[in-house]
Structure 1
Amino acid sequence: MTAESSAITSAYHPLFSDPAADTTLRSTEGTLFRVPAFVLRRTTGYFAATLPAIADTEHVPLDEPAALLAQTLSLLCGLPPPDAALDFDRAEAILGLAERWDAPGAAARVRDAITGPVFLAEPLRMYVVAVRAGWKDEARIASRGTLVLSLYDEVHDELLRRLPTQDLMALLGLHRRRRDTLDGLLKTNVNMAAVSWEYRARIFAEMDIRALGDTVTGSAVDEWREALACWSAKCAGAGCGKAIYDRDTILPEIKACIDQLPDTV
């Protein structure tokens, strides 16, 4: 045995160094992973088909990095995960390996984590991952989270390009439907029908930027030129001078309309 091969065979990952495990996998860096063959066969279609053919191989070489193997094998073996917390990059890498290995258990563990705070903080990327994995419930949750985003901002182009056309159109359609449905509701609302078209146009534009609708009912509205024109409008009748539009009536009416809007794909 050469010095180089001796160094490689001693480089066992600390979580997978049990001599009782009868199969040794080798990462692209040369890190070794001892894993029971029955676990690999029961949890992956790939090893169920290939392990009998490689049973006499001292180390099974894999075209996978050590960090990814440690994360995925921990999931398959029911071990506590390595120190690195699961984030989008690791989740997508694990899902890719789970697909290559036909390992539904590893994908299921990622699915259990995908609605956690780390992933909800990036709803568009979460939507992409959920759609590509075929997780409809998680995709709906993620689509609701995207309502705070302006999807036409070029910063989102790379993620949007990763979506299948059908799912991209569904997401864009949700944002557009909220904008257009709210516009229709306001036009037929008895308290909003007489409000200036400029004010309704501003609401339409704001919904196009942030479909959640929170920016058209909060205190920021009081800084809009279009809203201020409404609040300051007075009755022109002799001796009247009353306000034509009641802010404390109109804003709750808008909020009530927003509450009726669809919020998931």
Structure 2
Amino acid sequence: MAAESSVPSYHPLFNDPVADTVVLSREATLFRVPSFVLRRTTGYFAATLPVTLTATAEPVPLDEPAALLARIFSILCGLPPPGPELDFPTAEAVLALAERWSAPGVTARMRDAITGPAFLAEPLRLYAVAARAGWAEEARLASRGTLALGLYDEKHEEGLRRLRTPDLLALLALHRRRRDILDRMLSGEDTEGVNAAAVSGRCAVCGLQTENYAWREYRARIFVEMDTRALGDTVTGSAVDDWREALACWSTKCAGAECGKVLYERETILPQIKACIDKLPKTV
């Protein structure tokens, strides 16, 4: 039985007798592929295949799994992709083999497929693949998707390890810039930020200057939230009404005699914060 199981068999999609090159996979699966296709689409086979092949030529052994060869040969031959839907492990394996074989057409096909919904759902992994491949547009798209992630969470440690140092630094810088730029905008000192008068603690009615401690505490809470989730969607929605710092802000009133005006208007401040967030850098 062991001897019978080791006998090579042809892959059902690559068993055309007209194809003049036979390739042997790691598991002893045979693939018939036209030599002119292999030479024209890959630098590896262009350099290694004999110009003239005979019917009795030995199969070309490759230390690659059959599933991977079926995927990449389908691309080279213009056939529908075999097997299950493309996923990250398969895409990464195909890209690695395309690099070893110098197969730019395969790389281009992967680039077209890499921004599908399944890949966008894992922006950190997509960023690693795109940045390593030098795909600037796809890397920027993926970096925007990472804004919803807390990069310092332990669950993302493996994903960050996949990144080359320059790519990692660029991603961390994007998250940090959003946090720091927003903090400056909320200080009242940035002309493109919140209205300075609205957060100064000075009453707009009687002009009494009050210590703006409540606003500074609220701003510090926003800083922490942005450090955790740089997207900024958690600092402008209704969830902030549960923050102790936000409640303190909305309830702070002018101490002037017979005034009592609310110093920090929720309906004014939150739209201004949202407008600030919309101005932040979104990609590496």
* Pairwise same-fold verdict (TM > 0.5): yes
State the one-letter code of the partner of 1:242: K
Given that residues 222 and 228 in structure 1 are in contact (C-alpha distance below 8 angstroms), is that contact kept between their aligned partners in structure 2? yes
State the one-letter code of the partner of 1:213: G
Q: Deviations over 1:204-254 (max 9, x none)?
A: 000000001000001111110000111122233333333222111100000
User: In 1, Cα distance between the equivalents of 2:244 and 2:52?
Assistant: 74
Which runs of 5 or more structure 1 residues have no equivalent in the other structure?
A: none
CA, structure 1 residues 114+40, in 2 after alignment: closer, same or farther (shift >3 Å)? same
Deviates more, 1:120-129 or 1:242-251: 242-251
User: In 2, Cα distance between the equivalents of 1:61 and 1:5?
Assistant: 20
TM-score by length of 1: 0.94
Q: Deviations over 1:159-201 (max 9, x none)?
A: 2122221111111000000000000011123223445211000
Q: How does 1:30-45 map to 2 (within 5 A)?
A: 30-45=28-43
Given that residues 199 and 264 in structure 2 are in contact (C-alpha distance below 8 angstroms), is that contact kept between their aligned partners in structure 1? no
TM-score by length of 2: 0.88
User: In 1, Cα distance between the equivalents of 2:107 and 2:85?
Assistant: 16
Given that residues 54 and 60 in structure 1 are in contact (C-alpha distance below 8 angstroms), is that contact kept between their aligned partners in structure 2? no
> What is the aligned partner in structure 1 of residue 208 from structure 2?
none
> What is the aligned partner in structure 1 of residue 247 from structure 2?
228
Aligned CA-pair RMSD = 1.8
Q: Deviations over 1:56-94 (max 9, x none)?
A: 532111100011011111111111001311110000000
State the one-letter code of the partner of 1:214: D
Given that residues 186 and 193 in structure 1 are in contact (C-alpha distance below 8 angstroms), is that contact kept between their aligned partners in structure 2? no
Q: Percent identity?
A: 71
User: In 2, Cα distance between the equivalents of 1:173 and 1:42?
Assistant: 42
User: In 2, Cα distance between the equivalents of 1:129 and 1:6?
Assistant: 37
Aligned length: 262
> What is the aligned partner in structure 2 of residue 205 from structure 1?
224
Which runs of 5 or more structure 2 residues have no equivalent in the other structure?
A: 189-193, 202-211
SS in 2 for 1:213: coil
User: In 2, Cα distance between the equivalents of 1:5 and 1:18?
Assistant: 23
Q: How does 1:188-199 map to 2 (within 5 A)?
A: 188=188, 189=194, 190=196, 191-194=198-201, 196-199=215-218
User: In 1, Cα distance between the equivalents of 2:199 and 2:176?
Assistant: 21
Given that residues 130 and 138 in structure 2 are in contact (C-alpha distance below 8 angstroms), is that contact kept between their aligned partners in structure 1? yes
Deviates more, 1:198-207 or 1:188-197: 188-197
User: In 1, Cα distance between the equivalents of 2:153 and 2:5?
Assistant: 54
> What is the aligned partner in structure 2 of residue 262 from structure 1?
281
Given that residues 225 and 234 in structure 2 are in contact (C-alpha distance below 8 angstroms), is that contact kept between their aligned partners in structure 1? yes
SS in 2 for 1:25: strand
> What is the aligned partner in structure 1 of residue 207 from structure 2?
none
User: In 2, Cα distance between the equivalents of 1:66 and 1:256?
Assistant: 53
Larger helix fraction of residues: 1
User: In 2, Cα distance between the equivalents of 1:54 and 1:119?
Assistant: 42
SS in 1 for 2:32: strand
User: In 2, Cα distance between the equivalents of 1:247 and 1:46?
Assistant: 65
User: In 1, Cα distance between the equivalents of 2:216 and 2:100?
Assistant: 56
User: In 1, Cα distance between the equivalents of 2:14 and 2:77?
Assistant: 10
Q: CA deviation at 1:53?
A: 7.3
State the one-letter code of the partner of 1:174: L
State the one-letter code of the partner of 2:7: I
> What is the aligned partner in structure 2 of residue 174 from structure 1?
174
> What is the aligned partner in structure 2 of residue 214 from structure 1?
233
